[in-house]
Amino acid sequence: MKPRIVTTHRIHPDTLALLETAAEVISNQSDSTMSREEVLLRTNDADGMMVFMPDSIDADFLSACPNLKVIGAALKGYDNFDVEACTRHGIWFTIVPDLLTSPTAELTIGLLLSITRNMLQGDNYIRSRQFNGWTPRFYGTGLTGKTAGIIGTGAVERSGGRSQSGWPPSICKFSTRIRSLCRKSRKGHGMRAEHRWTSYWRQAISSFPCCRCRQIPTTP
């Protein structure tokens, strides 16, 4: 008999097909979030489950699912999942640590382009049928030759910096931790990296000449 797996939310068809080659899959393929009672009804005799951001797993839930052996979380954070309770019940709990690194970096680049090039204003202008030929509207600026100020030198910054390598802008970075990895990652991309060491965010912002001209919010 194949093991039984429950997915609490809709998953990609190819992922569903892959799971079905090895297990009986009970999948919520709707856009709605099931209640705790609905999830328990489907999971009480399941061997594994795939959970998502709206879900919550605690010790009481696990006690009601005696056959559960593994919980795969399709997310990075796990505040709403009791990992210690999973350990006590002998249940493997997995996350995707690097799940949002590239998407966040790509969205940051998209926001940079959208703001500097007035993309949203131009798109709305055309969709509202106001465009009747060229006029000197929506002048923007490019990233080529500009200086990008980046606060923080973590995984998202490194991915975003690589995404900008096609222009490339000069990069000023601020971080309380100077990593040789970041310096190495800039080699071969035609980018100049300048590390700033300061304990105050205000000093970090004022140290970036680009921010004195125009501050472009990217990610919170």
- Domain positions in the chain: 4-94, 101-129+140-213
Decide: helix, strand or coil at residue 44.
Answer: coil
The whole-model pTM stands at 0.66
Matching CATH topology for 4-94 and 101-129+140-213? yes
- Spatial strand order of the sheet with 147-151 comes to 147-151, 170-174, 193-196
Fold of the domain built from segment(s) 101-129+140-213: Rossmann fold (3.40.50)
Q: Is the pLDDT of residue 167 over 80?
A: no
CATH 3.40.50.1820 fits 4-94, yes or no: no
pLDDT digits (tens, 9 = 90+) for 51-104: 999 999 999 999 999 999 999 999 988 999 999 999 999 999 999 988 888 888
- From 88-92, 109-113, 141-145, 184-188, the region with the lowest mean pLDDT: 184-188
> How does DSSP assign 170-215, residue by residue?
EEEEE-SS--HHHHHHTTTTT--EEEE--S-HHHHHHT-HHHHH--
